[in-house]
Each structure stands twice: as structure tokens, then as C-alpha cells.
Structure 1
Amino acid sequence: MALAIAFVSAAAASGIDQLRAFVDGARTGKATFRQVVAAKSGRVPQASSGTFAFARPGKFRWSYDKPYAQLLVGDGEKLWIYDRDLNQVIIKKLDRALGATPASLLAGSNVFEINFVLIDGGNADGIEFVEAQPKSPDTGFDHIRIGFKENLPRTMELHDNFGQLTQLTFDTF
């Protein structure tokens, strides 16, 4: 999938502006990612990696390759979750499963402000951040923080309701 983005003046754009430019301009895209999950308890962080691809609205493929294979596929109507180790598939309605989730910010349509309150997150090391707080209390997480550079997501942090932090770094997009 080719990634085509209508670039706005990214050098001066806030994280919110870059999120909007990404969602409005990127109809399709793919990325590789690294993920680290750190528990509040101080347990050893869990690391994983994989690939992510999307076609708006609502179609995506999120594949964890290491250390455990898992595949999440959204076909626009349903979310398919395949766990290779358990040899199990779970199927959910996509609108209920995607709603106010991190995937909806990356692969959803430009109506993300229906589900999130967006707050400018400032700048660090040339990356502009936006914080997205879910409007619904039953999402399972407190907030998401996404870092953009040149209108492309570079990093995402998911802060859940149990104090766990999931950090995603997009190596290529």
C-alpha cells in the first residue's frame, strides 16, 4: 500500500494539526512497529514487534510477529482476532470494537473527535505530540499520546486504567 499524504506546513504544525493532516491525507498506509508494555508493578517489560497496514475507513491489519504471533484484521464491518498459539479466532463487530481505541485514531475516519478530546501535547526532540482522552469511561484506558513528525505517526503511548504503559515506536511508515 502506498502512503499518500497532503503535507501541511509540518514544521510549524501542532500534534493536533498533524493528526488531522494524517487522517485527512492518508487513505492507505503501512508501518513496522516495536512495542514495549511496562506494568506499574515494575515487572520486566514485555517487548514485541510486527507490522500494521490500513485502508480507510476501518480496514486494517495489525500483525504481531515476535515473540507471539497474533493477527488483528478489520474488514470494515468485523474485527477478526487470530491467536496462532491458541488456534482461536474471535470475531467482533468493528464499530463496537474500534470505537474509542488507538486503532481508530490511526485507521478510522476523520470523526475521531466524536470519541476523543484532543489536547496539544507539546514538542520533544522534534516530535509534536497530541493527547487523546476517550469521552467514554468504559474504554479500558486513560489516554493515548501520539507523536508526529512530518505528519506521520512516530510513536504512540497507551496509558491504561491499571497504570500499565504500552509504548509503540513506528520504525517505518
Structure 2
Amino acid sequence: MNRIAFVLVAVVLSSQALADARDRLDRFSDGLLALSAEFSQVTLDERGWPQDESSGWLYFQSPDRFRWSYQEPFPQEMVADGSQLWHFDESLEQVTVREQPAADESPLMVLTRPDLLDRFYEIEPTDEDHILRFRPLSEDGEFELASLHFIGDTPAALELVDRFGQLTRVELHSLVRNPELDEALFSFVIPEGADVLEGY
């Protein structure tokens, strides 16, 4: 096969893989109002060495409410109600309160709102039809590249590469579509005696 023919075949295959991965996301998100899952998270430095590991549960409710409940290594809560974001570090007895980040700063939001891909990201072609890779159009975000991995039509992992070359991988387990979620999951009551930092 000559070089031009090889390039043409590679482009066709990459385009097909991109379409297949996007189709997986569209099928998963169709009719999706909420989800819950266990997660495990690891951050690797630019040399591939583990820096931080954590695990817990996450909950999403369309269009923009979520809760990350970290169980290990230290209990923490991140709660967003659509307008504000609370981060509670139980070991420090400290709550940080700020305006909820824009949707383009939360790549997992594409699971419930795939339209965000077309508005805030550039989708990059891959050779694998189970990986959806996208890059934020804004240069002010916390990450430079995201990759959403699927098993069948179910999202199994999200990888983020930040501006310093660190890779964070979040693996999803026991994912449930449209569970019945308590409204209290998406509100936060500041514990008595906790230090409160605003706007950070």
C-alpha cells in the first residue's frame, strides 16, 4: 500500500472510530436523567508515577447537579446544586464555597449533556471506537485533554491530562442509569464549627 493510500485509510478508520465513540455516548445519554457509580481515582505524574489515589461514590442529576463522596483515603464531599459548589474536608473541618464552575470545566458532565461536546470542546480522532477524546476550546481550563472510555455503551473511565502533564484516571464501577436519588444529595449543610472559606 503506497503512503497516500495508507493515509486515506487511516483517516477513514479514525473518522469511523470517532463516530462510533460519539454514538456510544449518545446512546448512553439518551433519556438519562441521573446516574450513580462507585469510582476509583489515581493521579500519575509526567513520569507515570502514582501521586494520589482515592475512591468513593458519585451521583449526577441532569442537567448540572452532582455529588462526589470520597471515602478513601480521607472523607471528603464535593456537592454542586447548579449554582454553588461546596467542598468539605472532614479531616480539616473546613468547607470551601464558591460559584459552581462552568460546564466546560467538568468533562464528566458530557455524560448527561452530550451537547456540551459541540459547544465547548474539539473532538479528536482516535483509532479505537471505544474511546472519545476531546480537548477544551478554552485555554483557561484546568485540563488540556480528556478521554472517555466505554465498555459497550457504558462509560467505564475518564482520563484527564492537565497543563503540567499529570494524568488523572477515574474508573467507574457499578454504574446505574436513572436511579432514584434523594434530593438531599445535592444540597449541603455546613457542619457546626467548620471553618468556611468563600470564593476559593
TM over 0.5: yes
Flag the structure with higher strand content: 1
Give the whole-Å Cα distance in 2 for the aligned partners of 1:107 and 1:54: 8
The structure having more radius of gyration, on CA atoms, is: 2
Shift, 1:133, TM fit: 0.5
Structure 1 pair 106/69, CA: closer, same or farther in 2 (3 Å)?
A: farther
**For residues 94-173 of structure 1, what are the structure 2 equivalents within 5 Å?**
94=100, 96-108=101-113, 110-123=115-128, 128-173=130-175
Which letter maps to 1:111?
A: L
Is contact 2:42–2:50 with CA below 8 Å preserved after alignment?
no
Identity %: 31
Query: 2:90 is matched with which residue?
Result: 84
Give the whole-Å Cα distance in 1 for the aligned partners of 2:139 and 2:160: 15
Give the whole-Å Cα distance in 2 for the aligned partners of 1:79 and 1:109: 22
Give the whole-Å Cα distance in 1 for the aligned partners of 2:81 and 2:37: 18
SS at match of 1:105: helix
Unaligned runs of 5+ in 1: 1-12
Which range moves more in the overlay, 157-166 or 77-86? Answer: 77-86
Is contact 2:143–2:161 with CA below 8 Å preserved after alignment?
yes
Which letter maps to 1:83?
A: D
Runs of 4+ in structure 1 over 6 Å off:
none
Flag the structure with higher helix content: 2
Query: 1:53 is matched with which residue?
Result: 59
Shift, 1:43, TM fit: 4.5
Give the whole-Å Cα distance in 2 for the aligned partners of 1:68 and 1:107: 28
Give the whole-Å Cα distance in 2 for the aligned partners of 1:24 and 1:45: 36
Unaligned runs of 5+ in 2: 1-18, 176-200
Shift, 1:88, TM fit: 1.4
Give the whole-Å Cα distance in 1 for the aligned partners of 2:44 and 2:126: 21
Shift, 1:97, TM fit: 4.6
- Work out which of the residue numbers 49, 67, 75 in structure 2 matches 1:69: 75
* TM-score, normalised by the number of residues in structure 2: 0.70
Note the alpha carbon deviations across 1:41-76, whole angstroms, 9 max, x for none.
Answer: 554432111111111000111111100221111112
Which range moves more in the overlay, 145-154 or 100-109? Answer: 100-109
